[in-house]
Amino acid sequence: MSDLYELLGVPRDASTDDVKKAYRRAAREHHPDTGGDEEAFKQVTHAYQVLADPDKRARYDRSGDDGTPSTRGGGDPFGFGGAGFGGIGDVIDAFFGSSFGGGGGRGTPRAQPGRDVLVPTELTLEEVAAGVRREVAVEVASACETCGGSGSASGGAATACGQCNGVGQVQRVVRTAFGQLATAAPCAACRGTGRTVADPCTGCGGDGRTSQRNTYTVDVPAGVDEGDRLRVVGAGEAGRQGAPAGDLYVEVRIAEHDLFERDGRDLLAEVTVPVTQAALGGSVTVPTVHGDEVEVEVPAGTQPGSVLRVRQAGLPGRGGGRRGDLRLRVRVQVPTDLDQPQRELLEQLADLRGEHLESRGRGLFTRLRDAFR
């Protein structure tokens, strides 16, 4: 796909309002209902969905990841195409109202798909590292089992509403002191759908939907990040009177870990070593997020705050690839409960190194003070 900023004709530092204005112009130009090119319309809509969202825009600016299969490494598991809308029609309705290409024309009602549904799921870092299969329960308006979702007791198809002639809206003109004011409101007879059934189903009252609790199994790939969305097509709300269902989006949330913090693919942790080991060198054994342990070399003379790196002990990238690293920040543990023999050994070490201790005589500060008397 082309550069998203070029598609909308805006500079890379364009404000959100500028992006929205540019999309309105482009959508009017390319909308299929006005003779435009459908593919171009889809591209500018996708560009708007990415650039209007601060998180997705930052990710795109940083890595060029616009959520499409070509930039995510296959498939569309994270749902960038949804962007919180039920489809392209919902995007247009958000800007132009349902009468712009959304009403389907007078007398020819268009079935409106059901709304998308968003639910969170929380993962541990261990699950992020390995991938996991997760069951997600959601209560949504689903197709009525009595009528099969048609809304009709006999299973007949819905027809154009006689009250609004299939538009889904009723317009009224009110005379005011300033002239005539035209208003539009959803049609009460068809509840804004533009469609009615002659013999409403007793199970759903002609709506074609009833509330149900459904459970779906979602495969979460390894390497997902906070806020990523996994899409289950057709698992959202059912449309009224047999219209297509929306989609279910499962949003990833990652629980805090007792040991590790995440930095992209890398993991960060602290390791405590005794002062003697920091000075003389040695090794420590540390756990990893993958359930095993690794031995890490501590070089002689390691200073507090130094970072030890364990290659490929971090997290995988989305869709596979090289793991990140485990970075260990060193904390040097200074003993606080020395017995007399241990204290004497440290004093001997201080003598050998020419280090003068305040408790054994004049310290550096005292000597400097005396020098200026």
CATH code of 247's domain: 2.60.260.20
Q: Output the average pLDDT for the chain.
A: 80
Cβ atoms within 10 Å of 119's Cβ, excluding its own: 16
Give the mean pLDDT of 217-240.
91
110-136 confidence digits (pLDDT tens): 567 888 999 999 999 999 999 999 999
| 353 and 247, same domain (yes or no) | no
| 180 and 243, same domain (yes or no) | yes
147-161 confidence digits (pLDDT tens): 888 888 887 777 788
Structure confidence at residue 129 (pLDDT): 94
Give the mean pLDDT of 47-59.
87
| 291 residue type, one letter | G
Look at residues 255, 270, 298 and tell me which one is the last residue of a structural domain.
255
Band (pLDDT 50/70/90 cuts) for residue 34 is low
Band (pLDDT 50/70/90 cuts) for residue 211 is confident
Structure confidence at residue 367 (pLDDT): 53
| 2 and 144, same domain (yes or no) | no
Look at residues 255, 285, 319 and tell me which one is the last residue of a structural domain.
255
| 217 and 152, same domain (yes or no) | yes
- Cβ burial of 283 (10 Å; 0-12, 13-18, 19+) is exposed
Does residue 80 fall inside a structural domain?
no
Structure confidence at residue 179 (pLDDT): 63
Structure confidence at residue 121 (pLDDT): 94
Does residue 78 fall inside a structural domain?
no
Structure confidence at residue 154 (pLDDT): 81
| 244 and 169, same domain (yes or no) | yes
At which residue do the structure tokens 């969202």 appear? 53
Q: Residue 290: pLDDT above 90?
A: yes
Q: Identify which has the larger pLDDT, 204 or 96.
A: 204
| 229 and 319, same domain (yes or no) | no
60-76 confidence digits (pLDDT tens): 887 777 776 555 444 44
Structure confidence at residue 62 (pLDDT): 79
Q: Residue 178: pLDDT above 70?
A: no
- Whole-number Å distance between alpha carbons of 325 and 308: 10
65-114 confidence digits (pLDDT tens): 777 655 544 444 333 333 333 344 444 444 444 443 344 444 444 567 88
- Whole-number Å distance between alpha carbons of 102 and 224: 35
Does residue 79 fall inside a structural domain?
no
Structure confidence at residue 40 (pLDDT): 84
CA distances from 346 to 281, 296, 299, 352, 355 (A): 18, 27, 21, 10, 11
| 245 and 356, same domain (yes or no) | no
| 52 and 107, same domain (yes or no) | no
- Contact (CB, 8 A) for 151 and 242: yes
Q: Name the pTM for this structure.
A: 0.57
Structure confidence at residue 97 (pLDDT): 46
Look at residues 234, 255, 276 and tell me which one is the last residue of a structural domain.
255
Structure confidence at residue 186 (pLDDT): 81
Residue 355 domain boundaries: 261-371
Which segment of 190-194, 260-264, 314-318, 355-359 scores lowest on mean pLDDT? 355-359
| 197 and 337, same domain (yes or no) | no
Distance of CA 129 to the CA centre of its chain: 17
| 113 and 213, same domain (yes or no) | yes
Provide the number of structural domains found in the chain: 3
Q: Residue 239: pLDDT above 70?
A: yes
The CATH number linked to 1 is 1.10.287.110
Percentage of the chain lying above the pLDDT 70 cut: 80
| 146 and 200, same domain (yes or no) | yes
| 125 and 235, same domain (yes or no) | yes
Does residue 251 fall inside a structural domain?
yes
